[in-house]
Amino acid sequence: MDMTKYECDVCGYIYDPAKGDPDSGIEPGTSFNELPDEWVCPLCFVGKEDFSPIN
């Protein structure tokens, strides 16, 4: 399972697969690549294309 964290390039929100995004119905353990295409940043509402992996 890919547990890479991704950061929103616009607002700095960090998507952590270990936590998921429960407010959006995303279960913990969901990798960034498994997020639905329509998923958006919960803070600024940009799409997945505006996220970058964190090393």
Residue from 29, 1, 38 nearest 15 by CA: 29
Neighbours of 27 (CB within 10 A): 11
Q: Phi/psi class of residue 14: alpha, beta or left (left: φ > 0; alpha: ψ in -120 to 50)?
A: beta
Convert the pLDDT of each residue in 1-55 to its tens digit. Answer: 789 999 999 999 999 999 999 999 999 999 999 999 999 999 999 999 999 999 7
What pLDDT does residue 1 have?
75
Read off the pTM: 0.93
